[in-house]
Amino acid sequence: MHSGTVTVVNDWALFGHPLFLQRLEDLIEEVEGLAEDDPDGFHHHAHYKLLEKVEEAILVRAPTNPAAPEYFQGKTLGKENGHWRRIKNGLPNRYRLFFQFRSDAPKSIIYAWLNDEATLRKDGSKTDVYAVFLAKVKRGEIPSSFADLERAAGPIPGHLG
């Protein structure tokens, strides 16, 4: 894992894969630009709302209980990828945030990937969020094993934006 200040919530250390951290940084920068352009109305923009929901998901909801049944993704990614969890409830429609966790000490959650407008949920589509995520895992862009994911991960900022 990369060095830096680690955010800990409910005894869970929070980390992100570089693809997730870059997506998060891009989203924060976009919202900051919206705030500069429209200080009174930026909070009505879809990207502000997405950032708000992602912040709640990664800093509040998942660290409450990352093993909650609502995070199971079933067989959508295949039996061999059942260790992956995904957050969908609480995010805007058709968005998914994939993660893994380990409850043995040190307790860690690693957020791997959040889809964008080009990869929204659409069953059967080549650009479906699950199809794109699975392709990234199969290509090795996102490590499947927790140990490899942990080696690639960096700390999640404690406050977004």
CA distance 139 to 105: 30
Per-residue pLDDT of 97-140, as tens digits, reads: 999 999 998 899 999 999 999 998 898 899 999 999 999 999 99
Q: What angle do CA 9, 14, 16 make, to 5 degrees?
A: 155
Per-residue pLDDT of 15-64, as tens digits, reads: 999 999 999 999 999 999 999 999 999 999 999 999 999 999 999 999 99
- Whole-model pTM? 0.93
Over residues 151-157, the mean pLDDT reads 93
Burial class (CB in 10 A: 0-12, 13-18, 19+), 52: middle
Give the pLDDT of residue 150: 96
CA distance 111 to 61: 13
- Residue 1 confidence (pLDDT) above 60: no
Give the pLDDT of residue 68: 97
- Residue 3 confidence (pLDDT) above 80: no
- Residue 159 confidence (pLDDT) above 60: yes
Give the pLDDT of residue 105: 80
Per-residue pLDDT of 66-106, as tens digits, reads: 999 999 988 889 889 999 999 999 999 999 999 999 999 88
- Residue 4 confidence (pLDDT) above 90: no
